[in-house]
Amino acid sequence: MLKKLLLVSALFIFTEFIQAQDCITCHKNVTPNIVTDWQLSMHAKSDVDCAVCHGTEHTSAEDVAKAKLPTVETCANCHEERVAQFKKGKHAAAWAAMKAMPTIHMQPMALIEGMKGCGGCHKIGIKSEEEIKQLRKDGSLFGNASCDACHTRHTFSVEEARQPQACQTCHEGFDHPQWEMYSNSKHGVRYLLKQTGVLPKESSAPTCQTCHMQNGNHEVRTAWGFLAVRLPMPEDKQWASDRATILQALGVLDMKGQPTKLVDVIKAADVARLSQEDWQKERDKMLKTCGQCHSENFAKGELLKGDDMIKNADHLMAEAIRVVADLYKDGIIKKPANYPFAFPMLLTFHDAPTVIEQKLFVMFLEHRMRTFQGTFHANPDYALWYGWSEMKRDLTEIKELAAQMRREHKK
């Protein structure tokens, strides 16, 4: 019996080996660099061949459609712990968060489902089986695996994913220029000098992963979340009022200050901390990380400066929102029918119907983001000139535009 089992096992391994060699022989001619990348990978060294991820049904150029395209569940077969962490984090919710944006359906398909715009980064989010079927039906066959957003196929390198450049593709530009802020900060400069050999490898210099993926944790969470709004409300009455105004303009609170159905969406997408305990947990993790290089009192003081910048930015932002809301109230701007109440919607992006509303969206999603993100990323230029200074100028322009619109309305 034992001999028979050993024989069956040997035949199975031999068959798998032959199939793998067939894949390699063919793809060396068809897609040679894919083969090279796989041969460089830990998968190749661990005998994880093509069939493990792509199945065995595709055997020739005539049946390419039978090749299975992996999803996050494919990776979970071997990387269960990391996938479980990923599923609890914000990256896993990226696709759902994108789809929840009010006017996302107004963008060209290539940018969203085609993954050449928002979808190009938000594809890291997990998609349901139905969503994947629909994407494939619409001709968008690739980009559903999530993990390969950071561990580039087919090397799937852990070492690559640990480098700050792995984050660069998505964390740059308009509303989240973390790469620019980090790479120009003292933290980033020192690490890039380590990469080029100017500084010794032993030198202290954090990467994005050092601060946001402690010990390789794939949840990737922060205390303030992406939009820097949270619950409960602060004790400071002015800040509480300002934050309430912002939450109303996000559609999270109604005109009476009561939570709307969007709170459930925020909970599901995990884009904000909704309890003091959740916020403090993430803050404590960050303090522990900072403490590897800095004293505790220095780290606390620096993070408190970031909190204070959010407070000050919120005050400017709330004033600008109220200026535009008053234009709705006085009938100078017609409220779009799809807005839930007489408040501007900050997340309509460039689809906001008037110039003043578009200026408000830019103030919120570009300049407010840079104000607090620049502070937390230790980049003074972004915190001031690309952030706070721009917000001050935005507010001046919004007030002037509103005054002009009122004058024209009286004519």
Identify residue 200 by its one-letter amino acid code.
P
Distance CA(22)–CA(61), nearest Å, equals: 12
- CB 168, CB 160: distance < 8 Å: no
**Angle of helix 389-410 relative to helix 296-329, nearest 10 degrees?**
10
pLDDT tens digit string along 337-350?
Answer: 888 888 899 999 99
User: Which pLDDT score, from 0 to 100, does residue 102 have?
Assistant: 87
* Three-class SS state of 259: strand
Distance CA(68)–CA(65), nearest Å, equals: 8
Q: Where are the alpha helices (DSSP H) in 123-275?
A: 129-137, 158-161, 165-168, 178-183, 186-195, 208-212, 237-249, 262-269
- CA-to-CA dists, residue 35 to 42, 50, 101, 325, angstroms: 13, 10, 39, 58
Distance CA(115)–CA(120), nearest Å, equals: 4
Q: Whose CA is closest to 377, among 306, 294, 274, 292?
A: 306
- CA-to-CA dists, residue 403 to 180, 393, 407, angstroms: 36, 15, 6
pLDDT tens digit string along 193-225?
Answer: 999 999 999 999 999 999 999 999 999 999 999
Identify residue 49 by its one-letter amino acid code.
D
User: Which pLDDT score, from 0 to 100, does residue 1 have?
Assistant: 54
Q: Which residues contact 411 (CB under 8 A, 6 or more apart)?
A: none
* Three-class SS state of 237: helix
- CB 58, CB 64: distance < 8 Å: yes
**Angle of helix 296-329 relative to helix 369-376, nearest 10 degrees?**
180
Q: Whose CA is closest to 94, among 181, 157, 211, 176?
A: 176
Token look-up 């969206």 returns 361
The helix or strand, by DSSP H or E, that contains position 306, with its residue range, turns out to be: helix 296-329
- CB 368, CB 382: distance < 8 Å: no
Distance CA(272)–CA(279), nearest Å, equals: 9
Token look-up 């994005």 returns 208
Q: How confident is the chain (411 residues) per 10-residue block, as mean pLDDT?
A: 48 47 88 94 94 92 89 94 94 91 91 93 93 87 88 95 96 95 97 96 95 94 93 95 95 88 78 91 96 96 98 98 96 89 90 96 98 97 98 98 95 79
Go through the domains of the chain in sequence order and give each one's CATH number: 172-216 (no CATH), 221-410 (1.20.850.10)
Q: Which residues contact 115 (CB under 8 A, 6 or more apart)?
A: 123, 140, 143
- Terminal C-alpha separation, the chain: 98
| 272 class by beta-carbon count within 10 Å (0-12 exposed, 13-18 middle, 19+ buried) | buried
Q: Whose CA is closest to 397, among 347, 349, 351, 363?
A: 363
